[in-house]
Amino acid sequence: MKIPFTKMHGLGNNYIYIDGFQVHLEESEIPQLARKVSDVNFGIGSDGLIYMLPSEKADVRMRIFNKDGSEGKNCGNGLRCIAKWAYELGYVTDTSFQIEAKSGIVDAEVFPENGLVEQVSIDMGVPLLKRREIPMVVDNYDPESRVVNEPFLVADAELNLTAVSMGNPHAVFFVESIDSSPVEELGPIIEKDDRFPDGVNVEFVEVVSGKELHFRVWERGSGITQACGTGACAAVVASVLNGYSTVGEEITVHLEGGDLFISMTENQRVIMRGPAEKVAEGIFNWPSI
């Protein structure tokens, strides 16, 4: 089977996008396909696979598969790229429309110039903060409670955890210096820690000021990536919860691949603005011989 694909990225968080308006993928094959296209040696090379589909509830639907083939419930950089792609392909004609992800429906707005979209704004909705919603399981803790600046021992490290769900789980740790943050060492251990029954995306964040954060991520199912949109949103929410940042102010998050601009509104909604870029189009041979 020859599968047409497009490679896009948001701040270097890159996925192979397949247009489900045109191409039908067998459900049972998608995880294996995601692993294959992500492989830089035997496939194309990416952080995973994103499948764009028609939606019965919104204007377009996004499904995201990590590098290891696991399906994520949400993807901030993917949502911006899907918004750009759906608009440029003419699947949506208004500049404001809705995208369905596994975690729910979000409002997207594109800002086209001569028909091409470089910047996208997404209303990422209200974060989930209760322990059971992350989900995070720890003996003797109320599942209805929040996890804010809570002591978290892992390997030999004593960290403080703030946990946020943006439809997918995030463990946010504030550090003195992003350059010496233990992303490579602790990211893979925390991702699979038993306290997170669904696994977790792991973020280290340095507060430069209330309006500026430095950020590095270890993504569940994909490892280190240049950027994570939902992770950057979780970092901003965590910054507000810890009193570093203020509701209503736009915060610049410096990720390895560039900057996102994120604010939390008075009614707790998280608004993310940033770029989406198309880099390549091609045909993938599947299964390869």
Ligand X SMILES: N[C@@H](CCC[C@H](N)C(=O)O)C(=O)O
Q: Binding site for substrate: residue ranges? A: 13, 66, 76-77, 168, 201, 219-220, 229-230
Q: Which of 53, 101, 228, 234 is catalytic?
A: 228
- Using CB under 6 A, which of 77, 103, 181, 226 touches ligand X? 77
Closer CB to ligand X, 19 or 68, in the complex: 68
Binding mask 12-31 for ligand X (x = CB under 6 A): -x------------------
Residues 152 and 161 sit within 8 Å (Cβ to Cβ) = yes
Beta carbons within 8 Å of 188's beta carbon, 6+ residues apart: 218, 223
Closer CB to ligand X, 70 or 145, in the complex: 70
Pick from 265, 288, 267, 217: which is nearest to 39 by CA?
288
- Using CB under 6 A, which of 37, 58, 163, 228 touches ligand X? 228
Residue 220 engages ligand X in binding (rule: CB under 6 A):
yes
Token output for 69: 């083939």
Residues 32 and 43 sit within 8 Å (Cβ to Cβ) = no
Helix (H) or strand (E) holding 236: helix 229-241
Residue 233 known to be catalytic? no
Question: b/e string for 134-167 if b means 16 or more Cβ within 10 A?
Answer: bbbeeeeeeeeebbbbbebebeeeebebbbbbbb
Q: How many residues bind ligand X (CB under 6 A)?
A: 19
Say how far residue 250 (Cα) sits from the centre of its chain. Answer: 19
Compute the least distance from the CB of residue 156 to ligand X, in Å: 26
Residues 160-219 that bind ligand X (CB under 6 A): 168, 201, 219
Active site residues: 75, 228
Interaction site with ligand X (CB under 6 A): 13, 64, 66, 72, 75-78, 168, 201, 219-222, 225, 228-231
